[in-house]
Structure 1
Amino acid sequence: MTGAETPTGPALPRTIDDVPGWFFRADQEAFSWFLDRQTEAGVTGNLLELGTYLGRSAILLGRHLRSGETFTVCDLFDSEAPDDENSAEMSMSYRDSLTRRAFEANYLAFHEELPTVVQAPTSVLADGRIPTASCRFVHVDASHLYEHVAGDIQVAREALSKDGLVALDDYRSEHTPGVAAAVWEAVFDHGLRPVLLTPSKFYGTWGDADSLIRDFLARDWRAEGFRMDSEIIGGHTCYRLAWDDPVPSPQRRPAPQRSASRRLALAVLPPVVTKAVRRQLQASRDRRAAH
């Protein structure tokens, strides 16, 4: 449940899960674990997010910001995209909902101050405004177009300190092959080492992946309800972490089962008869719903 309706707009979020977005349990836990480990190890550095949507992941990142560090987010929000392909992508996915005002309202519901906000294409960060090797954690979740993602990965590489970590979103989604191409190109051609894979994100480093992996595996993730497995990809042992929600969402509820006789009828009847039967069944359901 979200917070109370404000006098000037929609309800403010009370928890991170009230904020719209695609930042799920496995990644919330992974972000927190990696950032906590950096704190415990005395690793210092800034935080950077390329593509923030309405702030769900940024809110969690902001919780790990320490004194003397800066947190920068870069997003187009409701600005014009730099090219036609990016504009089409934005219009299809975000244009009606993504505004800087909405992001700032969500973020300020959890934090007293906003991060440094760069409202522009993420490519502007290639101009050196993020000091080289100044960041310990970079989250890339902006464009899904190959050329843009490849550029964002290069920005992350320049920004990260020696053992800094990058999280790359949508590396395996059906509708984002450009992201997959850019991510695995970085692995096989540019020295990025896999640390962890989740259903949504790829975590990697250009530094010491082995110690990160060793410490990550020391936690008993399975005992906490997570699935953990591994496989070797091109000589890299890749560990996968996933969370199975014990309460299915409405979108994942199993479809009602048809009776055996109905399944048989629909299978053997001619298509024109099948369609007529389905229309009659739907009309019957509509009448029952109306009463």
Structure 2
Amino acid sequence: MEDTEQLPAPARLADVKGWFFAADQLLFDWLLTRQKQRAEPGDLLEVGAYMGKSAIFTGSYQRVGERFTVCDLFDGPADDTANSEEMARSYSTLTRRAFEANYLSFHDELPVVIQGLSSVVPDHVEPKSCRFAHIDASHLYEHVHGDITNVRELLTPAGVVVLDDFRAEHCPGVAAAAWQAVTTGGLHVLCITGTKMYGTWGDPEAIRAELLEWLATRDDMWHEVQSVAGETLIRISGKKAKLPAQPKSRHPERAVKAAPKAEPVPVAAAAPRPASRPLRRLAVNVLPPFITKAVVSAKRPDRA
């Protein structure tokens, strides 16, 4: 196991291990800023944190008096064999100490950290208290279904939920739970990216309309509108998306400088084609006599 205590403190969000792509950062920023502008009340919640990349970003939008809760097993025991195997396979280097060190590199205070199963979150978070929740914990169907069910009760009427890995080929359980929430659980999809589904159990029309207006102003994010299960869905591709403003590190002196561009390596001139004499000699020394005789005769110039 990697010794996470020896890892250098990150100076930029990009230095933190994890998967949080530009398009999703932009959507987090847009949704959380919209909530701030509309003075929507509520706390923040992240279920599944890994090394803290998205938590660090989300924590930048925590307002005075609000609570940000982060739940993860970290290096604690899982509740069943399947969950334990997934943890060992995908998150063997994850520790709470590493998460907290990363978070405190960007923020003065830690969020409320729950080290344990995501099923215990309702024991620590009040119903209808969260305006934004990010679910990125177990990939097993039963657990994701439970997380979505719990978060529905924890969100405010206008709250937004983000489901990670809803279409990843190695996470079919997430896909099953996510789309089940749409088809039978009342979840309205706002948009999807390559990795995340964004939804609400509240009225989605105003958010979708404003999101489309914003997307129309951006030349770095492709989008289209589809109809899925009788509702509008915005599909977004952000392969060329420019990163939004990043959380400021408390250790700017540790910023990693960009590596200098490598000088082009000159292409060596093609070596001259070797003469055929060594090949003929090899043939004479190695091949059977009746073959070498034919080779030598073919290469010998005609004589008068």
The CA distance in 1 between the partners of 2:111 and 2:188, in whole Å, is 29
Question: After superposition, what is the alpha-carbon deviation per residue over 1:85-121, rounded to whole angstroms, capped at 9, x for unaligned?
Answer: 10011111001x1110110010000000000000001
Q: Tell me the SS of whatever aligns to 2:174.
A: helix
Preserved CA contact (<8 Å) 2:220 2:241: no
The CA distance in 2 between the partners of 1:245 and 1:216, in whole Å, is 18
Which of 162, 187, 195 does residue 157 from structure 2 map onto? 162
The corresponding residue for 1:32 is: 29
The corresponding residue for 2:293 is: none
The corresponding residue for 2:185 is: 190
Letter of the 1:239 partner, please give it.
I
The corresponding residue for 1:172 is: 167
The corresponding residue for 1:82 is: 79
What is the TM-score with the length of structure 1 in the denominator?
0.79
Aligned residues: percent identity?
49
The CA distance in 2 between the partners of 1:241 and 1:156, in whole Å, is 24
Preserved CA contact (<8 Å) 1:222 1:228: no
Task: Quickly say closer, same or farther: Cα 1:246–1:71, change in 2 above 3 A.
Answer: closer
Task: Quickly say closer, same or farther: Cα 1:68–1:179, change in 2 above 3 A.
Answer: same
The corresponding residue for 1:138 is: 133
Residue segments in structure 2 that go unaligned for 5+ positions in a row: 243-304
The CA distance in 2 between the partners of 1:183 and 1:87, in whole Å, is 22
The CA distance in 2 between the partners of 1:55 and 1:233, in whole Å, is 33
Task: Quickly say closer, same or farther: Cα 1:75–1:212, change in 2 above 3 A.
Answer: same
The CA distance in 1 between the partners of 2:103 and 2:124, in whole Å, is 23
Q: What RMSD over aligned residues (CA atoms) do the two structures have, in Å?
A: 1.5
The corresponding residue for 1:150 is: 145
Aligned-pair CA distance for 1:190: 1.0
Task: Quickly say closer, same or farther: Cα 1:14–1:224, change in 2 above 3 A.
Answer: farther
The corresponding residue for 1:60 is: 57
The CA distance in 2 between the partners of 1:27 and 1:244, in whole Å, is 11
Residue segments in structure 1 that go unaligned for 5+ positions in a row: 1-7, 248-291
Within-5 A mapping of 1:277-288: none
**1:227 maps onto 2:222 in alignment:** yes
Runs ≥4 residues deviating over 2 A: 220-224
Within-5 A mapping of 1:40-59: 40-59=37-56
Aligned residue pairs total 238
Task: Quickly say closer, same or farther: Cα 1:154–1:112, change in 2 above 3 A.
Answer: same
Which of 105, 116, 122 does residue 101 from structure 2 map onto? 105
Task: Quickly say closer, same or farther: Cα 1:112–1:243, change in 2 above 3 A.
Answer: same
Higher RCO (C-alpha under 8 Å, 6+ residues apart):
2
Q: Tell me the SS of whatever aligns to 1:231.
A: strand
Preserved CA contact (<8 Å) 1:35 1:64: yes
Letter of the 1:136 partner, please give it.
R
Question: After superposition, what is the alpha-carbon deviation per residue over 1:204-246, rounded to whole angstroms, capped at 9, x for unaligned?
Answer: 0000111011111111456331111121111111101121249
Within-5 A mapping of 1:261-276: none
Q: Tell me the SS of whatever aligns to 1:104.
A: helix
The CA distance in 2 between the partners of 1:241 and 1:159, in whole Å, is 27
Q: Tell me the SS of whatever aligns to 1:66.
A: coil
Aligned-pair CA distance for 1:9: 2.7
The CA distance in 1 between the partners of 2:38 and 2:217, in whole Å, is 24
The CA distance in 2 between the partners of 1:223 and 1:50, in whole Å, is 30
Aligned-pair CA distance for 1:57: 0.2
What is the TM-score with the length of structure 2 in the denominator?
0.76
The CA distance in 2 between the partners of 1:65 and 1:155, in whole Å, is 22
Task: Quickly say closer, same or farther: Cα 1:221–1:88, change in 2 above 3 A.
Answer: farther
Preserved CA contact (<8 Å) 2:215 2:223: no
The CA distance in 2 between the partners of 1:52 and 1:108, in whole Å, is 14
